[in-house]
Chains A and B, each alone.
Chain A
Amino acid sequence: MGREKLSEKKLIVMLKISNITKSFDGFFALDDVSLFVDQGVIHAVIGPNGAGKTTFFNIISGILAPDNGSVYFKGQNLAKIEPHKIVQLGIARSFQRVNIFPRKTVFENIQIALIARDQLHRSPFKKASNLFSEEVEELLKVVNLFEQVELRGGDLSHGMQKQLELAIALASQPKILLLDEPTAGMSLSETQSCIKLLKNIVQDRALTLLFTEHDMQVVFGMADYISVLHHGRLIASGPPSKIRENSEVKRVYLGNKAL
């Protein structure tokens, strides 16, 4: 599959996925998928339910091992690297279902991420109480949760929990952020502000963002580059304008509706 450059500017490859295959009991969740994620790009992976998006994320983050193929992060092969080490390399992720520490306060939710980033979680004698308080505040301001700092994570609204999870992911100062359905379950206005927030964050922090999404408005409103999965196969990959016009995408995924 041809790889389309966004511009003439030379891009650095953050993530190189080559010929990934993964099957469960003979059912191919991913079938020979290859793609590149360039630095600083907002890259969406879309596809109907069961297309293999979550499997794709799980392989990148090391939860699942592919049957075939490899994932390279900045040239380093991620095979056989444990999930927590992959995070330490600079790949942070969020999950489709909200995944926070419900009975920790908002403050502690972020603090533990910072503790883990600096690998302080192994020290049984380092006092935790006010550690990283400035950095936590800063991050909370980024995701607009500063007012909620003392609430327990589980007591936040769904949208806020998603924002908290984003802040947790950002806390590890990742180079690439994997977001699985970042706006799932959000209201329209929450979705709008979330898109804005994500765009700002990517810009300010020179992040690379790889995300899956079912909401086409979000996808086309955000992504610089889109890859389409269908039945575990990569059927198209390119900038939004190309994807819009791709006939195969229209046929299998969009039911011929205009985008």
Chain B
Amino acid sequence: MIMTTNPAFLFVHAMNSLALGMNLFIIAVGLTLIFGVLRVINFAHGAFFMVGAYVLLSFTRWFEHPAIGFWIGAVAAMVTLGLIAYFVERHLLCHLYEKEHLLQLLFTFALVLIIGDITKIIWGPLQHSVSYPPGFNGAVNLGISYYPAYLLFLILLGPIIALFLWVILEYTRWGRIIRAARLDREMLLALGTNVKAVYSIVFVVGSALAGLGGALAVPRMAIEPGMDSLVIIDCFIIVIIGGLGSMWGSFLGAIILGISTIFGTLIFQEWEIVVVYMLLIIVLLWRPSGLLGTPEKERH
């Protein structure tokens, strides 16, 4: 066990935990929003994340100017995923809402397989990487220690997105409808809202967040086929720990996962991954509905 009380060392690791956590939050919050309203666990959310990463990769290759390529690429990733999600929801998934949840899950699993091969066909099987965007490639002096500007940007962006979503959910008409949908689907119909539109919008927004999360993760990690299969598990862990459907739950879950990954590696080295799964199981035994989740309402 290598532990040190050097404050700068601990500080950097704490910041790394947050950077990882906030990046994952951006992805996972989309998953939790979609589950909250559509009651569908989207296995393809990880694949959407991966497509987001590849779209950004293409834009950084197309544009001479790296900053333009990066930021336009991030927006393009969101738009691309929004379009894909719109097609998927409107033309395929919508046929399954009345069916068993089992078919819905397998449907999203089919998307994982298909999207996985399509990205391989388009972008090839090789590994790629993209460096930090200009302006964010330096380090910032935070007093205790220097810290990479890009990761600091991620740490700040997470809460901004969380607050933005919170304001929308709490204070707008759409937010009210979405909250109502989370509690009681039948109530939505009774309110005379356009349920179809609500489902589409939530699926599109949630998936676009996966795309954004994928794009922004690119400077942190290698882009390669199969990069989705572990990210989706991380997202699942976050939303289960936080409570399925809870926005702040996924925020909390992401921070917890970030901390346990970074500090878990520090303390337990390669056993970190086991620690994360154990943590998940402990949380579920202690609070079956997750930290901020509402207990599962039995039907009938």
Residues of A within 8 A of B300 (CB): 95, 97, 99
- Bitwise interface map of B from 257 to 300 toward A, beta carbon under 8 Å scored 1, else 0: 00000000000000000000000000000000000000000001
Distance A43 CA – B56 CA, assembled complex (angstroms):
70
Binding site for B on A (CB under 8 A): 95, 97, 99
Task: Report the minimal beta-carbon distance from B294 to chain A, rounded to whole angstroms.
Answer: 12
List residues of chain B with CB within 8 A of the CB of A97. Answer: 300
Number of residues from B at the complex interface, CB < 8 A: 1
Interface positions of B (Cβ within 8 A of A): 300
3 residue pairs bridging A and B, Cβ less than 8 Å apart: A95-B300, A97-B300, A99-B300
Q: Is the interface of B mostly helix, strand, loop or mixed?
A: loop
Which 3 pairs of residues, A with B, have the shortest CB-CB distance? A99-B300, A95-B300, A97-B300
Give the A-B contact count at a CB cut-off of 8 A.
Answer: 3
Cα distance A95–B298 in the bound complex, in angstroms: 14
In the assembled complex, the Cα of A51 lies from the Cα of B300 at a distance in Å of: 19
Instruction: Give the CA-CA distance A99 to B299 in the complex, in Å.
Output: 11
CA distance A95 to B300 in the complex (A): 9
Nearest-Cβ distance from residue B100 to partner chain A, whole angstroms: 11
CA distance A246 to B12 in the complex (A): 77
By a CB distance below 8 angstroms, the chain B residues around A99 are 300
Shortest CB-to-CB span from A69 to chain B, Å, is: 23
- Nearest residue (CB) in B for A63 is B298
Closest beta carbon of chain A to B36's beta carbon, Å: 21
Task: Give, as a whole number of angstroms, the nearest-CB distance from A184 to chain B.
Answer: 14
Considering the complex, give the chain B residue whose CB is closest to the CB of A97: B300
Residues of B within 8 A of A95 (CB): 300
Cα–Cα distance between A97 and B300 once the two chains are bound (Å): 8
Distance in angstroms between the alpha carbons of A99 and B300 in the assembled complex: 8
A257-B26 Cα distance, complex, nearest whole Å: 61
Shortest Cβ distance from B298 into A: residue: A63
User: How distant is B225 from chain A, measured CB to nearest CB, in Å?
Assistant: 40
Q: Give the distance in Å from the alpha carbon of A37 to the alpha carbon of B267 in the complex.
A: 64
- Measured CA separation A199–B273 after assembly (Å): 64
Task: Tell me, rounded to whole Å, the shortest Cβ–Cβ distance linking A178 to chain B.
Answer: 15
Looking at the assembled complex, report how far the CB atom of B8 sits from the nearest CB atom of chain A, in whole angstroms.
49
Q: Which residue of A lies closest to B299 (CB)?
A: A97
Name the residue on B nearest A96 (C-beta).
Answer: B300
**Complexed CA–CA distance, A175 and B300 (Å):** 24
- In angstroms, Cα B298 to Cα A99, docked, is 14
Q: CA of A65 to CA of B22 in the docked complex: distance in angstroms?
A: 41
